[in-house]
Amino acid sequence: MSIVLFDAPGPRARRRALIGSGIAIAVFAALVAWVIWRLNDRDQFDSSLWEPFKDRGIQKAILRGLGATIRAAFFAVLLALILGVLLAAGRLSRTPWLRWPCIVVVEFFRATPVVILILFMFIAFSDNFAPVGDDLDDALPDRVGNILGTGQFEALAPLVLALALYNGAVLAEVFRAGILAVPKGQREAALAVGLTERQTMRQILLPQATRIMLPAIVSQAVVALKDTSLGFIIAYPELVRVGRNIYDTRFNILPTVFIVTVIYVALNMSLDAFARWLERRQARRYSRAAVTEAAAVTDAT
């Protein structure tokens, strides 16, 4: 029995879709033109508002804010991936005392707003993080300390932990769904040849599930990258905070917002391009031709 979920549109449906698309594009273009006209009417495209970005000090400040944003996003995504794998494995465990705490943790942090998590971490633990940052700053070389942001540890650690907890809880569900999407026969075959549950998860299920989960993982990484801007509320010197400092002193809000937005879009597009490259690489690695070639080599030997 087959279930038809979608019928190919006929000539009249395609014509209506084309007309609707044309109207939507025209309305959007008119809206963009109106916004540009209003901005120009208020002298927002005046060259004097863009002059500050030629200043070397402002350029360096933007680069430092960009580095702080990338640093927080990198650590948050790394910890979220580790936490997500552990929580997903716990949720899939057959042991109730392990499964239920993982369920509670995932549901709690998924339902908690990120802003509240950041504020809680900062208010409750910032005094504890500051000495740790000082100790790391003294123990590590200056260049390593600058890369890790030990001088900003008081605000960096609460931001990273909050983002890791929230995104780790979301990724736990992504990992669980990806693992469950792998055919059950894979797990049964692995157990039949003597692999333990842990070995089956690590060697059989996770590698196959990764290909299924990759788009969702990248989407969540983009979310984490954008959420680093919430570090603004705890004075973490990320890109949005730097932009605020610029337009507070130069009174050029829209040009600064435009520059910051372009940087965020470029970062997200770069991350998406990397994910597409990784997906193509995995597709080539696990393609039918590659498997056939490997089998032929095995038979020849």
Give CA–CA dist 65/52, Å, rounded. 16
Nearest alpha carbon to residue 98 among 164, 166, 174, 197? 197
What's the confidence (pLDDT) of residue 286?
57
What was the pLDDT predicted at 285?
62
In angstroms, the CA 55 to CA 250 distance is: 12
Which pLDDT belongs to residue 1? 40
The closest of 226, 77, 238 to 156, measured between CA atoms, is: 238
The residues near 136 (Cβ < 8 Å, ≥ 6 apart) are 145, 148, 150, 153
The secondary structure of the chain as a DSSP string is: ------PPP-HHHHHHHHHHHHHHHHHHHHHHHHHHHHHHHTTTT-HHHHGGGGSHHHHHHHHHHHHHHHHHHHHHHHHHHHHHHHHHHHHT-S-HHHHHHHHHHHHHHHHS-HHHHHHHHHHHHHHHHHHHHHHHHHHS-HHHHHHHTGGGHHHHHHHHHHHHHHHHHHHHHHHHHHHHHS-HHHHHHHHHTT--HHHIIIIIIHHHHHHHHHHHHHHHHHHHHHHGGGGGGGT---HHHHHHHHHHHH--HHHHHHHHHHHHHHHHHHHHHHHHHHHHHHHHHTSHHHHHHHHHHHHH-
Please report, to the nearest 10 degrees, the dihedral formed by the alpha carbons of residues 218, 223, 224, 226 taken in order: 130
Query: Alpha-carbon torsion 78, 118, 225, 143, what sign?
Result: negative
Q: How far apart are CA 273 and CA 264, in angstroms?
A: 14
Mean pLDDT of 25-31: 93
Write down the pLDDT at residue 70: 93
The values of phi and psi at residue 252, to 5°, are: -125, 70
Q: What is the pLDDT of residue 292?
A: 53
Question: Residues 172-181: pLDDT tens digits?
Answer: 999 888 888 8
The per-residue pLDDT for 288 is 53
What are the pLDDT digits (tens) for 92-137?
A: 888 888 889 999 999 999 999 999 999 999 998 888 888 888 888 7
Averaged pLDDT score across all residues of the chain: 84
Q: At what angle do helices 253-285 and 56-91 cross, to 10 degrees?
A: 40
pLDDT category, 192, cuts 50, 70, 90?
A: confident
Rg, C-alpha atoms of the chain? 25
- pLDDT(59) > 80: yes
- 290 pLDDT more than 80: no
pLDDT value at residue 294: 42
Give the pLDDT of residue 2. Answer: 43
Q: How confident is the model at residue 298 (pLDDT cuts 50, 70, 90)?
A: very low
pLDDT at 180: 83
pLDDT of residue 114: 93
Q: What is the structure's pLDDT at 3?
A: 47
Backbone φ, ψ for residue 103 (5° rounding): -60, -45
Q: CA-CA distances (angstroms) from residue 277 to 184, 244, 271, 280, 281? A: 29, 35, 10, 5, 6
Superfamily the domain 62-267 falls into: MetI-like (1.10.3720.10)
Q: Which residue has the higher pLDDT, 184 or 164?
A: 164
- Reply yes or no on whether the pLDDT at 293 is more than 80: no
Q: How confident is the model at residue 151 (pLDDT cuts 50, 70, 90)?
A: confident
